[in-house]
């Protein structure tokens, strides 16, 4: 592109970049204002930025409780996803055994079954096992939802590990489980980090599955909690904004530190698929 036209393109792109960031900047600013300040002027920077709204949202609104709920569920679900997903990914991506092809295709097929389509029967099944409105129920629902994707990514990662690596480890006297634990898990670290972060994002950000599986007020996850704020604080926008900000911060931190891994995970499906 010619020099001038490059800049002609860069200006609207910069405007778009601003439009991408501004809504969150605006929300942050509102969260630091008093109600009075907000009503008087919505855009001006907060006079004396105060954390009052944040502590109100955290304590009296109950976001602390919801935050803990989310943390428990997300940590357990991601740990299980990585364990089960890497075991299956190793077996389906690197080993050839009777039925392995069919099992892999079965997992791929599950990738194309969206949650909405199975949510009625799934909630019935979970009710049957007494898992509705329990932590294990939601953890299991998340594992089921994101496992096919996890297996797919781990299998395509392990498929690139040379066969010699597995053979050498077996000649050294390792059983298959030994190969998995001593060779495949350490080798898979980059993929595990990438998949783990993506799964953390998916689980943390979900609202539909949490609403369906863990509906009671004391069991609300953070995202379900934020949706309930809307009605309660419709006349106290700064507190509402503070709650939204608290819920967004963990993923923003993850984005700042792991941007590359997230992008790798997102693109893995496109380039390997």
Partner 1 sequence: MPTGSTPAIDPVPRRATRRRNAERLAPYVLVAPAVLVVVVLRLYPLVLGVNFSFTGDGDSDGTAVGLDNYVTLMGDPLFVGALRNVGLLVALLPVAVAIPGLLATFIYLRVPGHRIFRSVYFFPAVLSPVIVGAIFTLLLAFDGPLNALLGSVGLGPVDWLGDPDVAIFMVVGVHVWATFGMALVVFLAGFATLDTSLLDAARIDGAALPRIIWHVIVPGLSRTIQFVFVTTMIGMLTSMFGLLYVMTSGGPGGATYLPEYYIWIQQGQLNRPALASAAATVLFLVMVVVGLLQVSVLRRSGRED
165 binds partner 1 (CB under 8 A): no
Compute the radius of gyration of the chain from its Cα atoms. 23
User: What's the min distance (Å) between Cβ of 189 and partner 1?
Assistant: 18
From residue 271, how far is each of 106, 264, 265 by CA, in Å? Answer: 21, 10, 11
User: What's the min distance (Å) between Cβ of 205 and partner 1?
Assistant: 3
255 binds partner 1 (CB under 8 A): yes
What is the Cα 219 distance to its own chain's centre? 19
From residue 19, how far is each of 3, 15, 243 by CA, in Å? Answer: 25, 6, 22
Of 49-57, 60-68, 160-168, 252-260, the window that binds partner 1 (rule: CB under 8 A) is 252-260
Residue 35 contacts residue 58 (beta carbons within 8 Å) = no
Q: Which of residues 216-235 bind partner 1 (CB under 8 A)?
A: 223, 226-227, 229-230
| Interacting residues of 253 by C-beta distance below 8 A, sequence separation 6+ | none
The count of other CB atoms within 10 Å of the CB of residue 19 is 9
Which is nearer to partner 1, 169 or 201 (by Cβ)?
201
15 binds partner 1 (CB under 8 A): no
271 binds partner 1 (CB under 8 A): yes
91 binds partner 1 (CB under 8 A): yes
Residue 38 contacts residue 238 (beta carbons within 8 Å) = yes
Choose which of 138, 144, 191, 192 interacts with partner 1 (CB under 8 A).
Answer: 144
24 binds partner 1 (CB under 8 A): yes
**Secondary structure E strands in the chain:** none
Choose which of 73, 148, 196, 242 interacts with partner 1 (CB under 8 A).
Answer: 148
Which is nearer to partner 1, 75 or 111 (by Cβ)?
111
Residue 146 contacts residue 206 (beta carbons within 8 Å) = no
User: What's the min distance (Å) between Cβ of 75 and partner 1?
Assistant: 17
Q: Which of residues 185-214 bind partner 1 (CB under 8 A)?
A: 201, 204-208, 211-212
């Amino acid at each position: 592109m010619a020099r001038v036209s490059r800049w002609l393109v860069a200006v609207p792109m910069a405007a778009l970049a601003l439009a991408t960031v501004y809504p969150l900047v605006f929300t942050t600013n509102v969260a630091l204002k008093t109600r009075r300040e907000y009503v008087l002027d919505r855009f001006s920077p907060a006079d004396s930025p105060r954390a009052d709204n944040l502590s109100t949202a955290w304590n009296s609104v109950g976001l602390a409780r919801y935050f803990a709920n989310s943390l428990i569920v997300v940590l357990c679900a991601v740990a299980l996803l990585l364990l089960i997903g890497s075991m299956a990914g190793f077996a389906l991506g690197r080993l050839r055994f009777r039925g392995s092809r069919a099992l892999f295709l079965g997992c791929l097929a599950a990738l194309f079954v969206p949650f909405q389509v199975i949510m009625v029967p799934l909630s019935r099944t979970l009710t049957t096992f007494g898992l509705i409105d329990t932590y294990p129920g939601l953890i299991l629902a998340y594992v089921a939802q994101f496992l096919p994707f996890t297996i797919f990514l781990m299998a395509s990662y392990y498929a690139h590990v040379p066969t010699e690596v597995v053979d050498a480890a077996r000649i050294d006297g390792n059983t298959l489980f030994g190969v998995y634990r001593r060779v495949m898990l350490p080798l898979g670290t980059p993929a595990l980090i990438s998949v783990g972060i993506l799964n953390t994002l998916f689980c943390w950000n979900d609202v539909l599955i949490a609403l369906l599986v863990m509906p009671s007020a004391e069991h609300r996850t953070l995202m379900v909690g934020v949706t309930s704020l809307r009605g309660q604080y419709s006349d106290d926008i700064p507190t509402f904004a503070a709650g939204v900000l608290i819920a967004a911060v963990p993923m923003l931190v993850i984005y700042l530190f792991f941007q590359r891994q997230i992008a790798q995970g997102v693109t893995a499906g496109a380039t390997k698929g």
